[in-house]
């Protein structure tokens, strides 16, 4: 009886079944928004003019057929610049999210599982957390040539400690579980415990954390670019676009409204996605006891 | 239930079965614990004190005692898996001549899961909820043998069949929460048997299961143990389980083994006052439940002496109706009251 019921529920393709699918309208919209920006960034060279082409005759034009989202103070096509900027935002957001998650996961695992390493690692983490993000980023862009790489590095450094703390806390609680003791009792060494038993438990909370880091990295890149400590001035990053056009705030508000709205939309989309992950995997949503 | 020959890897059948048939076969116990004392680190408190027992190949040794008597700690210490504040203060744990109490972490890793395995009380928590059962079952095989992926899968299937899991191919891909409690405990047992251990320590393996499943699991233990000739150390507080499957019994009270004997001797002729009282409480088949005291079930008066109050005297003294001055003055000496029947009680020393 119990067997029959169990059989009916057994997954035929467990891994395929675990791929998250959009469950609701907001999540579908979020996925669509992210994909839209990705497609625009890739397709921009084909459907829009050069984002850096200066046409003084056509400066500060409103939305029209020739320039879909108008032009900025130098007569550059805003649609092209925003599409290009979306690519930068997504690149920075994803790179920061993936890099800081991977590094944080590795360091957090070691810190949580090995007691002696924990003492050293957590002091270093505390030290990094004491450095203000903005100060670090400004210092790094001053020292090195401004580029995507430098911005990503400047954002990864302060984000790694956040991941480390989450992962370490989870490892500390997981390592006392009976199944970890049982694994040790069957001769599994530290590497096996970490890879086979702890990692699968950590991926769900990590994926939630990763999505939030991605959203905050997009916002921070724009912020850094806005104050001139991020992307180089000629690059059409959303922060740069807003910074360049803030003097036309009254006469041509669309020049900062459109990039601002795009930024809000993309960050909201990433956050919604993160929330749906939390709903799936977050507190109390673990499979089994 | 599969026949005994299906219960072990084919290569091992002949020699192990011969060994199992020629009982009492072995000249030496496979696991020999001597004067094991566990302490809470940086204190003088010893939750397990001077415990000695032997597990012989092909026998089931039951360690019985009430909650908190130290039987689980003894089991964990035998595997060298003690949780942090508890440390081994003295004694030896000899497995085939190797003293595990002195062994390094690397040596222990080679021994755990291969020579000696352990089953935990709650099958709900002994399996990782996010890892498919098959992956977990193949772990010990991957560590201790040089079998290929396909071979470990075949071995896992064979093991699942041995412990009576229907449709094992599908179970391998299932997650623990998709299996019932009894099924999960079968998986755990199969996992621990993967490398044909010489000693299997089972810490209350049936406590979390209902009675029918409990009987099935005990049956599996009996069959496998008969077929492989491994020694099974069964930690339990259930005298029914003991009577059903055990060959020998060690009774623990307040961190010490107070009586060791063959199961029929313990049940027919318990010597230690605690064992006697325990059996009086459990035995309802010996007659109608006594109704004299307002229909109350028999019990042992008083409560277990707190850890900090124990000392160089019998810990059962304040609950014992035969206690005298000597019991207050010194720990009772061990006495072999009958062949193979060892008791720690001053009363037994009386002529």
* pLDDT tens column, A213-263: 999 999 999 999 998 888 888 888 999 999 989 899 898 899 989 999 999
Q: Which residue is closest to B174 within chain A, CA to CA? A: A10
* Domain annotation covers residue B229: yes
Instruction: List C-alpha distances in Å: B52 to A223, B79, B98, B258, B348.
Output: 70, 15, 16, 10, 19
Asked whether the predicted pLDDT for residue A268 surpasses 80, the reply is yes
- Look at residue B17 in the predicted model and tell me its pLDDT: 41
Sheet of strand B86-95: strand arrangement: B48-55, B31-40, B86-95, B98-99
d(CA A240, CA A247): 13
* Domain annotation covers residue B327: no
* Cβ-defined contact of A187 to B111 (cutoff 8 Å): yes
Greater pLDDT, A145 or B234: B234
Check CB contact of B213 with chain A, cutoff 8 Å: no
- Look at residue B148 in the predicted model and tell me its pLDDT: 87
- Look at residue B285 in the predicted model and tell me its pLDDT: 53
Residue B6 belongs to domain spanning: 1-115+197-304
* Domain annotation covers residue B78: yes
Mean pLDDT of A273-285: 70
> What does the DSSP assignment read for B63-75?
EE--TTSSHHHHH
* Domain annotation covers residue B41: yes
Closest approach of B255 to chain A, Cα-based (Å)? 23
Check CB contact of A182 with chain B, cutoff 8 Å: yes
Low-confidence ranges of chain B (pLDDT < 70): 1-26, 283-296, 351
* Cβ-defined contact of B81 to A185 (cutoff 8 Å): yes
User: Is the distance from CB of B253 to CB of B307 less than 8 angstroms?
Assistant: no
Check CB contact of B96 with chain A, cutoff 8 Å: no
Residue B152 burial (CB count, 10 A): 19
Domain total for chain B? 1
Chain A CB contacts of B135 under 8 Å are 196
Mean pLDDT of A13-32: 73
Mean pLDDT of A87-93: 93
User: Is the distance from CB of B16 to CB of B8 less than 8 angstroms?
Assistant: yes
Check CB contact of B26 with chain A, cutoff 8 Å: no
* Domain annotation covers residue B55: yes
Check CB contact of A192 with chain B, cutoff 8 Å: yes
Mean pLDDT of A184-204: 89
* pLDDT tens column, B165-187: 888 888 888 999 899 888 888 89
* Domain annotation covers residue B135: no
Asked whether the predicted pLDDT for residue A34 surpasses 90, the reply is yes
Q: Which residue is closest to B121 within chain A, CA to CA? A: A178
* Cβ-defined contact of B178 to A6 (cutoff 8 Å): yes
Asked whether the predicted pLDDT for residue A18 surpasses 50, the reply is yes
- Look at residue A221 in the predicted model and tell me its pLDDT: 92
- Look at residue A22 in the predicted model and tell me its pLDDT: 59
Chain B CB contacts of A3 under 8 Å are 166-167
Greater pLDDT, A191 or B1: A191
d(CA A179, CA B151): 24
Check CB contact of A56 with chain B, cutoff 8 Å: no
* Cβ-defined contact of B177 to A192 (cutoff 8 Å): no
With CA atoms as reference, report the closest residue to B298 among B316, B276, B317.
Answer: B276
* Cβ-defined contact of B192 to A11 (cutoff 8 Å): no
Quote the pTM value: 0.76
| CATH code, domain carrying B17 | 3.40.50.300
* Cβ-defined contact of B176 to A288 (cutoff 8 Å): yes
* Domain annotation covers residue B319: no
Mean pLDDT of the residues in chain A: 85
- The sign of the CA dihedral A219, A269, A283, B174 is negative
* Domain annotation covers residue B132: no
With CA atoms as reference, report the closest residue to B180 among A25, A10, A268, A116.
Answer: A10
Chain B CB contacts of A289 under 8 Å are 124-125, 129, 177
Chain A CB contacts of B129 under 8 Å are 179, 201, 286-289
Domains delineated in chain A: 39-281 (1.10.3720.10)
Pairing of strands B116-119, B199-203: parallel
Chain A CB contacts of B166 under 8 Å are 3
């Amino acid at each position: 009886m119990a067997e029959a019921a169990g059989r009916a529920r057994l997954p035929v393709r467990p891994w395929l079944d675990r791929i998250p699918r959009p469950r609701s309208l907001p999540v579908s919209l979020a996925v669509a928004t992210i994909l839209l920006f990705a497609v625009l960034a890739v397709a921009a060279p084909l459907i829009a003019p050069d984002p850096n082409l200066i046409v003084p005759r056509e400066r500060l034009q409103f939305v029209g057929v020739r320039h879909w989202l108008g032009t900025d103070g130098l007569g550059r096509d805003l649609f092209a610049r925003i599409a290009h900027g979306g690519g930068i935002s997504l690149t920075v957001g994803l790179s920061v999210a993936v890099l800081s998650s991977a590094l944080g996961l590795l360091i957090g695992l070691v810190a949580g599982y090995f007691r002696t390493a924990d003492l050293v690692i957590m002091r270093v983490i505390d030290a990094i957390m004491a450095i203000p993000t903005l100060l670090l980023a400004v210092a790094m862009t001053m020292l090195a040539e401004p580029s995507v790489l430098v911005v990503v590095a400047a954002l990864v450094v302060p984000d790694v400690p956040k991941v480390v703390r989450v992962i370490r806390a989870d490892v500390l609680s997981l390592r006392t579980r009976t199944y970890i003791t049982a694994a040790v009792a069957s001769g599994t060494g530290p590497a096996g415990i970490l890879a086979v038993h702890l990692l699968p438990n950590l991926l769900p909370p990590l994926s939630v954390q990763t999505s939030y880091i991605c959203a905050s990295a997009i916002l921070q890149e724009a912020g850094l670019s806005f104050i001139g400590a991020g992307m180089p001035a000629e690059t059409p990053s959303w922060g740069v676009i807003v910074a360049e056009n803030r003097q036309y705030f009254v006469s041509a508000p669309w020049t900062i409204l459109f990039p601002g709205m795009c930024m809000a939309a993309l960050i909201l989309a990433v956050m919604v996605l993160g929330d749906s992950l939390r709903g799936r995997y977050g507190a109390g949503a673990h499979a089994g006891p | 239930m599969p026949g005994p020959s299906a219960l072990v890897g084919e290569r091992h059948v002949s020699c192990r079965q011969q060994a199992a048939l020629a009982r009492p076969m072995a000249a030496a116990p496979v696991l020999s614990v001597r004067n094991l004392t566990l302490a809470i680190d940086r204190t003088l408190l010893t939750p397990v004190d001077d415990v000695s027992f032997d597990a012989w190949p092909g026998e089931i040794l039951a360690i019985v005692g009430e909650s908190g008597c130290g039987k689980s700690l003894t089991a964990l210490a035998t595997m060298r898996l003690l949780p942090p504040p508890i440390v081994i203060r003295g004694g030896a744990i000899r497995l085939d001549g190797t003293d595990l109490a002195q062994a390094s972490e690397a040596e222990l890793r080679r021994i755990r899961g291969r020579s000696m395995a352990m089953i935990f009380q709650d099958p709900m928590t002994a399996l990782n909820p996010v890892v498919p059962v098959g992956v977990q079952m193949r772990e010990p095989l991957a560590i201790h043998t040089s079998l290929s992926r396909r071979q470990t899968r075949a071995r896992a299937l064979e093991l699942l069949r041995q412990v009576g899991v229907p449709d094992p191919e599908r179970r391998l891909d299932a997650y623990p929460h998709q299996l019932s409690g009894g099924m999960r405990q079968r998986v755990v047992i199969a996992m621990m048997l993967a490398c044909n251990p010489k000693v299997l320590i089972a810490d209350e393996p049936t406590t979390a299961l209902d009675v029918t499943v409990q009987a099935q699991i005990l049956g599996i233990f009996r069959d496998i143990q008969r077929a492989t000739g491994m020694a099974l150390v069964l930690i339990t507080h259930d005298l029914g389980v003991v009577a059903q499957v055990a060959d020998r019994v060690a009774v623990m009270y307040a961190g010490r083994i107070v009586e060791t004997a063959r199961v029929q001797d313990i049940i027919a002729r318990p010597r230690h006052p605690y064992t006697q009282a325990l059996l009086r409480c459990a035995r309802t088949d010996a007659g109608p439940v006594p109704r004299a005291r307002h229909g109350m079930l028999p019990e042992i008066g008083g409560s277990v002496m707190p850890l900090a109050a124990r000392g160089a005297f019998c810990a059962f003294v304040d609950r014992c109706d035969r206690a005298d001055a000597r019991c207050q003055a010194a720990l009772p000496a061990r006495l072999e009251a009958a062949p193979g029947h060892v008791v720690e009680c001053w009363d037994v020393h009386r002529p």
